Structure 1
Amino acid sequence: MATFRASDDHLNKPGALIAALPAVLGFVPEHSLTIVTVEDGQLSCVMRVDLSEELVDSLDHLAEVAAAAEPDGALAVIVDDDGMSCRACLEEHRCLVAALTTMLAARDVELLGAFVADRVEAGGQWLSLDGRPGWGRIEDPRSSPMAAAAVLGGRALHARRTDLEDVIATADPARTEALRAAMVLAEHDGDRRPRAAARRDVEHAVASARRLARGVPPADADLVRLAWGVTDTRVRDVLYALAVGPEAGAAEALWALLARTLPDPWRVEAIVQLAFSAYARGDGPLAGVSLEAALRSDEEHRMARMLDQALQTGMRPEQIRELAQTGHRLAKRMGVRLPPHPGGPRTRVG
């Protein structure tokens, strides 16, 4: 699920609503059902699932998630390239919408509109599915105000969901396996280490992010140290603070690099750091993909589960950013000087 705000134009114009979906999701949806919630006359949260024969069995859960934030209503968009030319497909989609309407109504959420689109691109077509007459053309997603806002906010827009998944996919399997051997040989005592050792690992992570921002990637020895460092909960909790502030972009680039390079189980902590950073800056799609990967590797990971629950219930990024203040407090207690947090302690790495 992604959280966003959009104008009344998206609510009243299906062509504009559908054109805005790639900017909200971070990729162009294909063969999927998207549910968008409405609050105070504006679009608020969005979730997307693949179309499948089993989808009807998941509608109850989707309706529960959509209703979690108690929205005023919801909209549904089905993307199916055969959905407008195939009469049997249209009937299946209408049945799906009818079932979704019933399940949302059971949770006091009205389905305000439902549409099918053949493709999400300029010139694509949409058709109303909720019994009211309606047909039209889809506006150019690249010209959508939501797309402009996403780019200005530092979010990348991908052609497909798989392109988004590549942000964290293992890039060089041979190097990753070589790092696994190095990880096993390295010695680390985790939380049992002296506080000074944890402090040095935090400082090393900040320095590594800064070097990467200057075009200098970490050497293998640095990768091993970074990977073991975030297994120390003190280091991990402090580093969440980097998601907000002047080092946020550099830190996120480092976490993405570690996610693509480290072997399991060490890459999980990097992926969760990336998810936290993406969520904090409002990139729900990247946060969602990252959390899915993290929970596949470790379904009991406490922070991953907490962030996933927050994302599922539509918690705003500004609420997540407040958690970064905890990292600054922990850093101060540890004796680490971090870059300033907006509204928080004005400290710098020396």
Structure 2
Amino acid sequence: MTTYSPDFELNHPAALIAALPAVLGFVPENSLVLVSLGDGELGAVMRVDLSDDLIDRVDHLVEIAAAAAPEAMIAVIVDADGAHCPQCNSEYRQLCAVLSKALAQNDIELWAAHVVDRVAVGGRWHCVDGCGSGGAVDDPSASPLAAAAVLQGRRLYPRRADLQAVIAPDDLSRSAAVVAAASQHAARRAVAHREDPLACGRRDVEDAMAAAARVARGQSVSDAEVAALGCALRDVQVRDTLYALAVSEKAGEAETLWALLARTLPAPWRVEALVLLAFSAYVRGDGPLAGVSLEAALRCEPDHRMAGMLDTALQSGLRPEQIRELAITGYRMAKRLGVRLPPRRASGRCAG
């Protein structure tokens, strides 16, 4: 789920549907998209895959959506094969009836429900209840939200799989080499940490910032360096300090490093890189990247505290500015370690 305020009329379905790629970060396919409304503006937006058991999961979806306390919701069903199929539309009317009832129990109105074959130029939409309204989808690339996304430095992806590729492991043979290097480094680091925990943590944070600067310049990091960073991120004081980089002037450099580590480190080391990436993306308003990163992190470690907290905040539509203060803990930790972090800044650039 992600949250944005648009610059268009919510009662114009063609424009609303065209804005979905900019909100979600990718072009939705085979999806149910729930758009929450409050004070006449677009609020939290949630997407789930269409599936045979979707109607049985409506109560859970509404529970998540209701956490943001919207006044109303709009449902958009994206189905290239079923949008113009009478039998499918009957099933979608049933789905929306169940959805409307569940929302009403939470004092939320289902304001409208639309079916669209594809969210692209040439796509066609119509209302689920057969009211007769319908037409062509507006050009998604011309949506005001698409322009806003570009100005914010967010990248829009053709499909969700392309977004997921930002964090997908990209070299399994290298991951195996990193595992071997990490085992060796962990033993050495344990000795150094016992001798002087503060010096060990300070060195790890400084090494991470130096690696981020090199990666941002297009330089590579060795397997040994990746392994060392993975081990360092498992240290709570190091990890909590590095969260501060998300609100610093070097946020873009750090986020690029977290994305690289998420693709390179194997479990369990990649979990912390994924959560750092998620936090950085969330802080700068990139809910889609934060969402896929948290999803991957929670698959690796379902009980991860920070991942769970961020996921709950994201699902509830909590705005980025409301979580940025979490990074202040990192600056306090840095002071304790004797590390000088970059000055604070409101946002960073996209991950690469």
TM-score range, shorter chain: over 0.9
Specify which of 269, 273, 293 is matched with residue 270 of structure 1: 273
> Match for residue 213 of structure 2?
210
Contact 2:44/2:317, CA 8 A, preserved across alignment = yes
> Match for residue 115 of structure 1?
114
Q: Distance in 2 between matches of 1:241 and 1:52?
A: 40
Q: Distance in 2 between matches of 1:66 and 1:267?
A: 29
Mapping of residues 78-89 of structure 1, within 5 Å: 78-89=77-88
> Match for residue 167 of structure 2?
168
Deviation at 1:84, TM superposition (A): 3.1
Specify which of 303, 307, 310 is matched with residue 310 of structure 2: 307
Q: Distance in 2 between matches of 1:325 and 1:130?
A: 49
Structure 2 residue 299 is matched with structure 1 residue 296? yes
Contact 1:113/1:130, CA 8 A, preserved across alignment = no
Q: Distance in 1 between matches of 2:199 and 2:322?
A: 31
Once the two structures are superposed, residues 42-66 of structure 1 have per-residue CA deviations (whole angstroms, 9 ceiling, x without a partner) of 0111000011111011110111111
User: What TM-score comes out, normalization by structure 2 length?
Assistant: 0.94
Contact 1:191/1:233, CA 8 A, preserved across alignment = no
Q: Distance in 1 between matches of 2:334 and 2:129?
A: 54
Once the two structures are superposed, residues 152-179 of structure 1 have per-residue CA deviations (whole angstroms, 9 ceiling, x without a partner) of 1111111111111111111111111111
Q: Distance in 2 between matches of 1:252 and 1:194?
A: 26
Which residues of structure 1 form unaligned runs of 5+? 344-350
Specify which of 235, 246, 253 is matched with residue 243 of structure 1: 246
Contact 2:258/2:273, CA 8 A, preserved across alignment = yes
Structure 2 residue 156 is matched with structure 1 residue 153? no
Deviation at 1:315, TM superposition (A): 0.8
Deviation at 1:86, TM superposition (A): 0.9
> Match for residue 91 of structure 1?
90
Contact 1:191/1:234, CA 8 A, preserved across alignment = no
Once the two structures are superposed, residues 190-234 of structure 1 have per-residue CA deviations (whole angstroms, 9 ceiling, x without a partner) of 975511110111011111111111111212221111111111100
> Match for residue 350 of structure 2?
none
Which residues of structure 2 form unaligned runs of 5+? 347-352
Q: Distance in 1 between matches of 2:143 and 2:104?
A: 31
Contact 1:199/1:334, CA 8 A, preserved across alignment = yes
Aligned-residue Cα RMSD (Å) equals 1.4
1:127 partner letter = H
Contact 1:8/1:42, CA 8 A, preserved across alignment = no
> Match for residue 72 of structure 2?
73
Q: Distance in 2 between matches of 1:61 and 1:267?
A: 29
How many residues align structurally?
A: 342
Structure 2 residue 9 is matched with structure 1 residue 6? no
Deviation at 1:333, TM superposition (A): 2.1
Deviation at 1:8, TM superposition (A): 4.3
Tell me: CA distance 1:209–1:75, structure 2 relative to 1, closer, same or farther (3 Å): same
Q: Distance in 2 between matches of 1:158 and 1:105?
A: 34
Q: Which SS does the other structure have where 1:12 is aligned?
A: coil
> Match for residue 322 of structure 2?
319
Q: Distance in 2 between matches of 1:71 and 1:157?
A: 26
Contact 1:8/1:41, CA 8 A, preserved across alignment = no
Tell me: CA distance 1:182–1:342, structure 2 relative to 1, closer, same or farther (3 Å): closer
Contact 1:7/1:43, CA 8 A, preserved across alignment = no
Deviation at 1:130, TM superposition (A): 3.8
Once the two structures are superposed, residues 310-332 of structure 1 have per-residue CA deviations (whole angstroms, 9 ceiling, x without a partner) of 11111111111111122112211
2:27 partner letter = V
Deviation at 1:258, TM superposition (A): 0.4
Contact 1:191/1:232, CA 8 A, preserved across alignment = no
Q: Distance in 2 between matches of 1:315 and 1:216?
A: 36
Q: Which SS does the other structure have where 1:338 is aligned?
A: coil
Structure 2 residue 193 is matched with structure 1 residue 194? no
Q: Distance in 2 between matches of 1:101 and 1:130?
A: 12
Mapping of residues 31-46 of structure 1, within 5 Å: 31-46=30-45
Mapping of residues 308-347 of structure 1, within 5 Å: 308-342=311-345
Q: Distance in 2 between matches of 1:223 and 1:114?
A: 48
> Match for residue 105 of structure 2?
106
Contact 2:44/2:316, CA 8 A, preserved across alignment = no
Deviation at 1:31, TM superposition (A): 0.8
Q: Distance in 2 between matches of 1:81 and 1:125?
A: 10
Deviation at 1:7, TM superposition (A): 2.9
Structure 2 residue 230 is matched with structure 1 residue 231? no
User: What TM-score comes out, normalization by structure 1 length?
Assistant: 0.95
Q: Distance in 2 between matches of 1:315 and 1:132?
A: 34
Q: Distance in 2 between matches of 1:258 and 1:131?
A: 49
Q: Which has the higher contact order (CA 8 A, sep 6+)?
A: 2
Q: Distance in 1 between matches of 2:222 and 2:68?
A: 45
Structure 2 residue 52 is matched with structure 1 residue 49? no
Identity %: 59
